[in-house]
Amino acid sequence: MSASPESPEAVARAFADAINRQSPDELAAMMTEDHLFIDALDNRVQGREAMRAAWRGYYRLVPDYTITVEEAYGVGDVVVMLGTAQGTTNGGWWQTPAAWRAEIRGSQIGAWRVYADNEPIRKLLANQPK
């Protein structure tokens, strides 16, 4: 069964597609003004504009960052997606299993939480020339 254009799952998948296009402006347009981002280490960034800047910085660090969504499950306005995250940084490619939890408000993302093992990218960053 496919998701309708405005279903919570469709909104979450569209956000994942925007991540893969590496477009901070497109991502910001899909966020609520008070958007909350929580990374795998429980670091939090609050607000659309703060996250636009954060995505710009992340794409400088990992310019080919993409996520692959293999499964999605939703209950009400919450969608959980399972898959992998991957990209290149410091000359090395990495990939790790990941999950994302999206809280949908209307047709926007109110909160986006990432669950992933960051060790592969941390190892590459540790080898960065000083």
Long-range contacts of 85-92 (CB under 8 A, 24+ apart): 85/114, 85/116, 87/62, 87/63, 87/121, 88/62, 88/63, 88/64, 89/61, 89/62, 89/121, 89/124, 89/125, 90/124, 90/125, 90/127, 90/128, 91/124, 92/124, 92/127
Share of the chain above pLDDT 90, in %: 80
Predicted confidence (pLDDT) per residue in 57-114, tens digit: 999 999 999 999 999 999 999 999 999 999 998 778 889 999 999 999 999 999 999 9
Say how far apart CA 36 and CA 19 lie, in whole Å: 16
Predicted confidence (pLDDT) per residue in 24-63, tens digit: 999 999 999 999 999 999 999 999 999 999 999 999 999 9
Q: Find the range with the poorest average confidence among 2-6, 69-73, 102-106, 125-129.
A: 2-6
Does pLDDT of 5 surpass 70? no
Question: What is this structure's pTM?
Answer: 0.88
Share of the chain above pLDDT 70, in %: 88
* Domains defined for the chain, CATH in brackets: 8-126 (3.10.450.50)
Does pLDDT of 125 surpass 50? yes
